Amino acid sequence: MASGKLQSKEIRLVSRPQGEPALENFALATVELPDLEPGQVLVRNAFFSIDPYMRGRMNEGQSYVPPFALGKVLDGAAVGQVVQSRDAAFPVSAWVQSLCGWRDYFVAPGQQLRLIDATQAPPSAYLGVLGSTGLTAWVGLREIARIRENETIFISGGAGAVGSVACQLARQSGCRVISSAGSSSKVAFLKNQLQVDHAFNYREADPVEELRKAASEGLHVYFDNTAGPQLEAALASMRNRGRLVMCGAISGYNKPVQGPRNLALTIVRRLRIEGFIVVDHLHRMAEFLAEAIPAVRAGKLLHQETAVQGIENAPQAFISMLRSGDAHIGKLVIRL
């Protein structure tokens, strides 16, 4: 601190997980922050996002985003407040969203930040229901599935970040919503908080049986957050011309999964299976927020989050999330 420079803690990826990530894949480091250049802003993060897709970036090899580099800080969505600024568009105290997660403070050009309106909703909501998470659910239902009123939809992983928004948006669009989760408290959340029409614990119940019971006339839409046996069960339950939205595949992030053995149903039932990535749809964010902010303010769209305190607990929170255990419901964020 002799130089008087500000220090920041950050989480680095120090080795690539084989299968399930372990704490030793991560390290907490302290770095000195540089002085601001013209156009730059110093931000103190208040929350950063922990997302399943980050597991893919921990592997080697190109995907739709580059892999995390070994020995470097991880990144991802974060919200925080401007502490110092050399960009007039980002005054001190302004709330901003960035892709500079997994650290306390950072310096970045203002043009890489987006102002958020913390008077409309709690700042962390911009990582969840009012962020890419919410947009993912909205795009998946509207653009990919093209849901219509009175359709029956099955949303796996309904207590997760995207799933919990998708359940609500589908219900508000007049769909019958069936959803699944991996613990009884999550199933209770689906039933009581999200008020889905039918919810089940996929670890205890047979998804094929549950869908037969809850959707005796079949599914118009399946919104996949899990892949694995739930995808196979959904395929078996699709109506003719059903649509399957491939949004996430969390069951296969740590270990290889078997593919659905009944994929040939795609032919006889004329199914459409379509994958998407929210980064292709970020230009729809303003349109989405114009709908979602009033809904959140009116209490019609629940921002469900689990906030874990302290940057040092981020690796364990990430590991637990991939186990789909009981600890986290809704969006998982680290509070700093």
CA angle 45, 96, 89 (to 5 degrees): 130
Tell which phi-psi region holds residue 194, choosing left (phi > 0), alpha (psi between -120 and 50) or beta: alpha
**Contact letters (x/-) for a copy of itself, 94-123, by CB under 8 A?**
------------------------------
Q: b/e string for 231-257 if b means 16 or more Cβ within 10 A? A: bbbbbbbbbeebbbbbbbbbbbbbeeb
Minimum CB separation from a copy of itself for residue 127, in Å? 21
Nearest CB to a copy of itself, comparing residues 317 and 321: 321
| Count of residues touching a copy of itself (by CB under 8 A) | 35
Contact 111, 39 (CB under 8 A): yes
User: Which residue stretch of 80-88, 211-219, 227-235, 318-326 sits at the interface with a copy of itself (rule: CB under 8 A)?
Assistant: 227-235
267 makes contact with a copy of itself (CB under 8 A)? yes
Distance CA 170, CA 137 (A): 9
**Contact letters (x/-) for a copy of itself, 194-223, by CB under 8 A?**
------------------------------
Closest CA to 77 of 56, 58, 60, 54: 54
Tokens of 26: 């991560």
Nearest CB to a copy of itself, comparing residues 75 and 104: 75
User: Which residue stretch of 42-50, 190-198, 266-274, 313-321 sits at the interface with a copy of itself (rule: CB under 8 A)?
Assistant: 266-274
Cα dihedral angle (162, 201, 145, 75), rounded to 10 degrees? 20
59 makes contact with a copy of itself (CB under 8 A)? no
Binding test (CB under 8 A) with a copy of itself, winner from 38, 66, 256, 299: 256
Minimum CB separation from a copy of itself for residue 271, in Å? 5
Cα dihedral angle (159, 160, 161, 167), rounded to 10 degrees? -40
- 299 burial (CB, 10 Å; 0-12 / 13-18 / 19+) is exposed
User: Which residue stretch of 1-9, 159-167, 244-252, 310-318 sits at the interface with a copy of itself (rule: CB under 8 A)?
Assistant: 244-252
Q: b/e string for 17-31 if b means 16 or more Cβ within 10 A? A: beeebeeebbeeeeb
DSSP bridge pairs for 305:
331
Minimum CB separation from a copy of itself for residue 244, in Å? 8
Binding test (CB under 8 A) with a copy of itself, winner from 27, 29, 273, 307: 273
60 makes contact with a copy of itself (CB under 8 A)? no
Binding test (CB under 8 A) with a copy of itself, winner from 2, 268, 286, 298: 268
Q: Under the rule (CB under 8 A), what is the footprint of a copy of itself? A: 56, 63-64, 227, 231-232, 240, 246-249, 252, 256-277, 280
